[in-house]
Amino acid sequence: MARLVATELEAAWGRPVVIENRAGANATLATDMVAKAAPDGYTLLCAANNHVMNPAIYTNLPYHAADSFAPVGMIATSPNVLWTGASQPFNTLADAVAAAKARPGELGFATTGNGGNGHFGGETLQRATGITLMHIPYRGTAPAMQDVLAGRVPLFMQTLVGAIGAYRGGQIKPLVVFGPDRAPDLPNVPTMAELGFEAPDSGVWYGLLAPAGTPAALIQRMGRDLEMVSKNTAFQEKLRTQASVTTFLGPADFAARIRTDLPRWAAVAQAAGMRLE
């Protein structure tokens, strides 16, 4: 996502936009670096919504997810989906729920790690449906997918963007979509709300954040440029190939979304006992 956005912003700004990967600790290392950067518009964070989930599970973050940043804009989203292997007997969410109720705590769901979108999605699924599953965290998508495809783990909670390749290859089946709307790539798969369940949107969003103190005029200008990118038809088509859709929010609305998301995920983490050091 960062590379797609950077390419468009380079054209808009007439100067190079350099991608610097700072991996580790659910993106908190990169986030802390940007929080401490000069507020001059030259250092931005390409954030996903682990930005608002991390404060719910880490006990002592060196920054504040809202106060340490000036939101520039949200650019795209991709929903969380509950998947199962193609050889598994489940074809609907009701099938999986029935199996889980028959064997409480035995049915496993894979995720790409503790405290990520999949983990939060799995916890909200259990709360909404009244079932108890076994969380099986992996170090990334590849090892989790490997065990799901091999039939060693029956369920996989993963964003659409992270599983679209295996789905298009016929290796996994979608059971339900988390989020407000059906996914364009999965038009026949219902949402949790359509099935009568209340569950917050645990799918991924992507956006740009600047350090707090960045001049408001500069934030507004960058926000307008990001909105222009979001309206670019070619950019929207590139997003669709990655199972993501343009979902633009300007600086003020993105800031409001962040402040709304923070207590929502804190409540989920507290209820599920989710905590990382």
pLDDT values of the chain reduced to their tens digit, one per residue, 277 residues: 999 999 999 999 999 999 999 988 889 999 999 999 999 999 999 999 999 999 999 989 999 999 999 999 999 999 999 999 999 999 999 999 999 999 999 999 999 999 999 999 999 999 999 999 999 999 999 999 999 999 999 999 999 999 999 999 999 999 999 988 999 999 999 999 999 999 998 999 999 999 999 999 999 999 999 999 999 999 999 999 989 999 999 999 999 999 999 999 999 999 999 987 6
Q: What is the dihedral of CA 246, 5, 156, 190, to 10 degrees?
A: 10
CA 34, CA 32: separation in Å to the nearest integer? Answer: 5
The residue assigned the tokens 């990655």 is 242
Q: pTM of the full predicted structure?
A: 0.93
Alpha-carbon gap, residue 73 to 250, rounded angstroms: 5
Q: What pLDDT was estimated at residue 131? A: 97
Residue 222 confidence (pLDDT) = 98
What is residue 275's predicted lDDT score, i.e. its pLDDT? Answer: 83
Asked if 244 and 102 touch (Cβ cutoff 8 Å), the reply is no
Alpha-carbon distance of 75 to 46, in angstroms, equals: 10
**In this predicted structure, what is the pLDDT of residue 136?**
97
Count CB atoms within 10 A of the CB of residue 236.
15
* pLDDT value at residue 180: 87
Say what the pLDDT of residue 59 is.
Answer: 85
Please answer whether residues 239 and 245 qualify as being in contact, where contact means their C-beta atoms are separated by less than 8 angstroms: yes
Task: Give residue 277's pLDDT.
Answer: 60
